Every structure is written in C-alpha cells, then in structure tokens.
Amino acid sequence: METLRTPQERFADLPGFPYRPRHAEVGDGLRMAYVEAGPPNGRPVVLLHGEPTWSFLYRHVMRVLAAAGLRAIAVDLIGFGRSDKPAAVADHSYAAHVEWTRALLFDALELSGATLVGQDWGGLIGLRIAAEHPERVSGIVAANTGLPTGDIPMPEVWHRFKDTVLKAPVLDIARLVQAGCKSELPPEVRAAYDAPFPDERYKAGPRALPGLVPITPDDPAAPANRAAWRILTTLDRPFLVAFSDGDPITGGMAPILRESISGASGLRHPVIKDAGHFLQEDAGPELGRQIAVFVTST
C-alpha cells in the first residue's frame, strides 16, 4: 500500500484549533491522528467526523465539552486530516475504516466508558464500533448520520453528491463542505478544510467513502450493518439523536433512530436549529452543549 503523509506546515495557523496533534499506529503501517481537549481524567467523548472533513470540524464542540470537564477526543479518519493517506481508492473499505478506528480507540488509547459521537461517516463507523464492542461504550450520540444496509434507497441528493465526488477531475474539498453548511465559511476556514490535501494524489479517502456506503442489499458491508442494527435496537446504552433541522441527506434517519433504538427511549432528543449537514460548523456550541448535558446526566 502506498501511503502519503501531509506536510505539517500545511496545518499552520488553523483558526480556533490550537490543539497539539497526537498519533498512534493502527495497523497496515498506518499512523492515525487525533487531538484532545479537557482534563485527561475526564469522561471520554470521542468525536468522529465524516466525508470530506477532519477533526477541525469539531473545534467549537471541543471547547464546550472541555469547559464541562469532559475529555474530548477528535479523531482524523485514515485518509483525512493529519492521518496517513492510502494513495489508492481501492485501499479503502468500510471494514478497514472500522478496524483502523477501533484500533486507535481501544488498542492505542485503551478507552473504556466512552461516549461515541458520530456525524456522517463518523456515524457509519462509530455505530458499528459501538455495536461490536458495547462493553467499551457508555453512550452514543448520532448527529446527521445513519447505518445503511442497502435495504432502503438513498435520497437522490446523495446520489448526485456521490457522482460529483467520483467524477470530478479536481475535487474541491472546501466547496463540498460549504455546500453542506447554512452559514458562510470564512476564507481561512475553507483553507483549513483544504489543508490536508496538497494535491489530487492525497484525496483517495474523500473519493472512496461515498462508494463504500451500502446502497444495495447484497453490498459486502450490508450483513455487518444489519448485525449492528440488531444489537443497537436492544442495547441498554443511552442513545441521543441530535440532528439538525436542515439536512436533506440524513434527515429522514432521525425518527427511525429515535423509534428503533432501545437506548433512545425516554430521552429528550434535540433538533439543532438553523443548521445544515455539517451542524458542527453551523451550530457547534449548541451541539457541544447538548452532548455535554447528555454525557453528564446519563
């Protein structure tokens, strides 16, 4: 596997993101990056981003969690942020991303009693990890995400996004992030989303992930996701559904999660107002507040 590593100077002067990067080996010779905020002995809250962002997305959320005395851990998926980047689209698979992330959280960081927060692909990975290792997880937050099995069609807007990512000669990362926000991103924030990808060679991860979403019942990842659903529907872990009010891609999953997941019963599930798909950008402090209340009260 050919891998690329983004030069550190690309990450100079990130707005509102002063956290020192840390790294751990996760197998296949790959180094995975993460940042932390808050007291080291605080209750761990793992923040998992999606496509095509990185841990920078959670900068507003991290400040709120740290102020609440929680240990916020924001991860860069392999192929994103400061993590190593396999150079070929074929090097990425759903199962590999689940295993890489599991290895970081449980082998390298040795976390237990963690709350997993997943948005977009962060949920596709995090929900699988929670279902497959429930003894290490104390709570789950799903924010604009889901766990597709290919049994229910994806919305047309998602198919348009997938085609754009796969076919664009030049993949404009900052433009994709902006398209998922209601607020206007300042130039320095757009530059931060472009920072991990000096040129097209570094973008195999963002190009690969849309094609790994199970959209047919016979997808290779569909059986594992169905098994995860069966576990999550009866799992006795508190499960918060914190979706925005303006996500055309995953919005339809919110009522399904609230009604299907055992741990969601009896909880007050917030709707984050005036926010798009990337609700961390549009309403990060509010999302952070909702997560902090959930973690400290359950």
- The catalytic residue positions are 120, 247, 277
The SS3 call for residue 19 is coil
Distance CA 121, CA 77 (A): 9
CA distances from 128 to 10, 49, 97, 158, 207 (A): 32, 14, 10, 21, 21
DSSP annotation of 249 reads T
Amino acid at 225: N
Q: With 0-12 CB in 10 A as exposed, 13-18 as middle and 19+ as buried, what is 230?
A: exposed
CA distances from 241 to 46, 131, 230, 236, 260 (A): 16, 16, 18, 15, 11
Distance CA 85, CA 90 (A): 12
CB 32 within 8 A of CB 23: yes
Q: What is the DSSP string of 67-113?
A: HTT-EEEEE--TTSTTS-EESSGGG--HHHHHHHHHIIIIIIS---S
